[in-house]
Structure 1
Amino acid sequence: MPVLYAVALLLGALPVPHQAASTAIVPEIVDRSRTHPANARIAGAFSLADVAGIYGGTLVVGLLGAVRALGRDLVGGLEAIASAIRIGSPDSSGTRGRPRACAKGPVRQADGR
């Protein structure tokens, strides 16, 4: 039972710094004029994750079992870390570097930059 309490404590406490960090990084990766819409999208994603996560998590645990679902959660966390590491930041001049390549070609902003 102490292990279960420790896991519950960690799962309850770790989202707090994650949410703070995810909103704090927005000015680093988004132009100043787009900060408000970006923050609104993050807040919407958090709300959607809160609602969908409860029902989706219950479905996954029901289908896969608790141990496999926890393993999938671990893999998802590692994927999130890898994605966060790949996020670039503006260079010292305030402009972005060359577009990163993706499966269908370079990623560009909506305004064509």
Structure 2
Amino acid sequence: MQISNSITDQIQAIKADKRRLKQMIVNLLSNAVKFTPQFGSVGLEILPENDHAIRFTVWDTGIGISGEQLENLFKPFVQVDSSLSRKFEGTGLGLALVRQLAEIHNGSVGVESTPGKGSNFYF
């Protein structure tokens, strides 16, 4: 798996809980790695969105998520594949926590995804 990052040096200091910010990034990166095949790619991009905000984006070339699955993705205990034979482990709390922490920081979280091509999660 290829892992890359793109972090501009033009980012100014932000006021945020460093521990929670790290937790958000780790949760998104963990999901990206979990749902990306061995020869896929995962990345982190941190860029200024405007004069007062920074956009953190975690992207992958993984399995992707369908439009109908996106609706419930950030709800606690929800798994994209909730069948008994599901391939991927997890509690379904990681993305719900990311959303909650983003909102605590007066932000939001979003996702763009295409099944079979990958996902971009951003906050």
Does TM-score exceed 0.5, indicating one fold? Answer: no
Structure number with higher relative contact order (C-alpha < 8 Å, ≥ 6 residues apart): 2
Structure number with the higher helix fraction is: 1
Larger Rg: 1
Using the size of structure 1 for normalisation, the TM-score is 0.34
Using the size of structure 2 for normalisation, the TM-score is 0.32
Structure number with the higher strand fraction is: 2
